[in-house]
Amino acid sequence: MPEPGKDNPLAKLRHDLRTPINHILGFSELLGEDLADRGVRDLDDLDKVQTAARQLLKLIDTRLSDENFSGFVFQEAGTASDYQKITTSLDSSAAEYTEHLSKLTGRILVVDDHPENREVLVKRLERQGHQTAEAENGRHALEMMAAGTYDLVLLDVMMPEVDGYTALGRMKADPALRHIPVIMISALDEIASVVRCIETGAEDFLPKPFNPTLLRARIGASLEKKAFRDQEQAYLRQIEETQRRLEEELQEAAKYVISILPAPMEKPFPISWAYDPSTELGGDSFGYHWIDESHFAIYLLDVCGHGVGAALLSVAAINVLRSGSLKEVDFLDPAQVLAGLNETFQMERHNNMYFTIWYGVYHAPSRKLQSASGGHPPAILLNPESGADVVQPLEVTGMLIGAMPGMTYDSQTITVPENARLFVYCDGAYEIKRPDGTMISYEHDFLPFLSRHGRSKTLPDDVLKWIRGIHTGKDLDDDYSFLTVDFPA
């Protein structure tokens, strides 16, 4: 059995083979954490690298154990024949990966104050296929890195003017340089020096005189990490560019959604509103228009969810109502309108999305308001009686739009008193959580607020300000839409 120790070629081979694999494993784990912090979830390739690395380490420990080579006659440590005999017992995967690392090349900056040291190292690196550049101290190296591009820096510790410790610290403090891998090379072999370099940000530390095999392996590992990071940065730039374009498109889409909302009006009776989507694109929409000279339609709908899908469905439904394009539907009859919408916008044909709606038709000569609801909160009439305002919910029930085909809807008709005020809104106007997680009460908070402030000329904004004061988050949990309609005397 070969004797353990520094002159044992088998132990040396195990060490030299473990080193690059340990680097690959460590670097891939760090890269995985970095990608995860940035929100990247698809890490299958990194997982495969880590699994392969652990398998290789296990192979090295089992195939190259001292027991497996008991009785093997070793020549003087380091001879080529010994290494060739041992490496033939390795699986081809390990040999292929070692070969892969040895073929990685890059542009390497060699920093050392002794010209002869630089010359020896540069010649060895160039034989391995690397491009090289030289700097005689840390100051010169920093100047060269600011002016050029490098994949790796081999940095001496003890140098005049700016030593390796200082140069390394400045690199890691510079956003443009901090991601360049650095291997420290020095005659110092104290553990404190190694720890100081690694803590400052060096990828690795090699003592002089360095082992050429170890140098090749660690350069390969560092270059592979640099290639991983360059690829990651390219992906991130692509993601950022895609996100920028998406944000621009969302802004354009949000402008379009706002553009189809009707302008507040003063004649023949005032209508005002407030709209605040919880995301860039909300699922709320509303409208009002004259159907003919006597009948005025008012409607507000709320699509489940938020984002592009909800906005598209909301816009499609609103455009149908505005254009009156439902076949065989009398738009003067709210119940028929909701039944027609329900057949047109069945969930299975619209990505399993549904919406609620309140739809009303006001007949100006008779002051009759006929309304129907498809799973929507009731509109509220602020009704002046005996000199005092009474909050009167217009309760009418009906199935939400799109859930089941063949649904029928009921409607109710009321006579609107003089100087009455109508409130049409979404559930985002009152389904608000307090800081302790409890919801405000529709009956005991929302309705009393409307009773107290119902005549405010800025009521839609007043309600929004009130619920924002209750909800402490930056954005509301749901879209907010609120209309007020002031009927004439």
Query: Which residues, in sequence order, are CB contacts of 166 under 8 Å at separation 6+?
Result: 138
What is the rounded distance in angstroms from the CA atom of residue 111 to the CA atom of residue 207? 15
CATH number at residue 174: 3.40.50.2300
480 with 428, same domain: the answer is yes
3 with 73, same domain: the answer is yes
**CA torsion through residues 399, 401, 407, 408, sign:** positive
> In terms of DSSP bridges, do strands 379-385 and 388-394 run parallel, antiparallel, or are they unpaired?
antiparallel
**25-52: average pLDDT:** 75
What is the rounded distance in angstroms from the CA atom of residue 350 to the CA atom of residue 103? 54
In a domain, 114, yes or no: yes
Structural domain ending residue among the three candidates 210, 237, 269 = 210
- The structural domain count of the chain equals 3
339 with 366, same domain: the answer is yes
125 with 190, same domain: the answer is yes
267 with 195, same domain: the answer is no
Of 288, 263, 337, 258, residue with least CA distance to 487: 288
**191-203: average pLDDT:** 83
Q: Which of 88-97, 375-384, 404-413, 466-475 has the lowest mean pLDDT?
A: 88-97
In a domain, 255, yes or no: no
pLDDT 10s digits, 146-156: 999 999 999 99
Q: Does residue 157 or residue 92 have the better pLDDT? A: 157
How distant, in Å, are the alpha carbons of 363, 367, 383 from that of 414?
A: 11, 8, 12
pLDDT for the residue 19: 62
Instruction: Find the distance separating the first CA and the last CA of the chain, reported in whole Å.
Output: 109
pLDDT 10s digits, 426-446: 999 999 999 888 999 999 999
Per-residue DSSP letters for 310-349?
HHHHHHHHHHHHHHT--TT--TT-HHHHHHHHHHHT-GGG
20 with 82, same domain: the answer is yes
**340-369: average pLDDT:** 95
What is the rounded distance in angstroms from the CA atom of residue 90 to the CA atom of residue 87? 5
244 with 389, same domain: the answer is no
> Taking CA 305 as the corner, what is the angle to CA 317 and CA 259, rounded to the nearest 5 degrees?
45
Res 71 pLDDT > 60: no
300, burial (CB in 10 Å: exposed 0-12, middle 13-18, buried 19+)? buried
Count of CB atoms situated within 10 Å of the CB of 95: 13
How distant, in Å, are the alpha carbons of 60, 351, 389 from that of 209?
A: 26, 67, 94
Res 72 pLDDT > 60: no
pLDDT 10s digits, 79-107: 444 445 544 544 455 556 556 666 788 99
Res 77 pLDDT > 70: no
Q: Does residue 95 or residue 29 have the better pLDDT? A: 29
In a domain, 457, yes or no: yes
Q: Is the bond into 209 cis (omega within 30 degrees of 0)?
A: yes
300 with 403, same domain: the answer is yes
Classify residue 436 by its DSSP letter. Answer: T
pLDDT 10s digits, 17-26: 766 676 576 6
In a domain, 197, yes or no: yes
Quick one: how far is CA 179 from the chain centroid?
23
pLDDT 10s digits, 294-327: 999 999 999 998 788 899 999 999 999 999 999 8
CATH number at residue 271: 3.60.40.10
Average pLDDT, the chain: 85
Res 6 pLDDT > 60: no
pLDDT for the residue 61: 73
The model's confidence at residue 213, banded by pLDDT at 50, 70 and 90, is confident
Classify residue 286 by its DSSP letter. Answer: E
pLDDT for the residue 86: 45
475 with 329, same domain: the answer is yes
142 with 21, same domain: the answer is no
In a domain, 254, yes or no: no
**CA torsion through residues 210, 213, 214, 219, sign:** positive
Classify residue 39 by its DSSP letter. Answer: T
117 with 229, same domain: the answer is no
206: tokens are 């090699």
CA neighbours within 13 Å on the CB side: how many for 391? 18
Query: How many separate helices (H) and strands (E) can be counted in the chain?
Result: 13, 15
Classify residue 215 by its DSSP letter. Answer: H
Residue 313 DSSP SS3? helix
pLDDT for the residue 470: 92
Place of tokens 């995985």: 32
336: tokens are 């028929």
**130-156: average pLDDT:** 94
Domain boundaries, position 65? 1-102+214-248
**170-190: average pLDDT:** 86
Res 237 pLDDT > 80: yes
277 with 380, same domain: the answer is yes
Quick one: how far is CA 298 from the chain centroid?
39
- As a 3-state breakdown, the chain gives helix, strand, coil percent values, each rounded to 5, of 45, 20, 35
In a domain, 420, yes or no: yes
**356-371: average pLDDT:** 97
pLDDT for the residue 471: 87
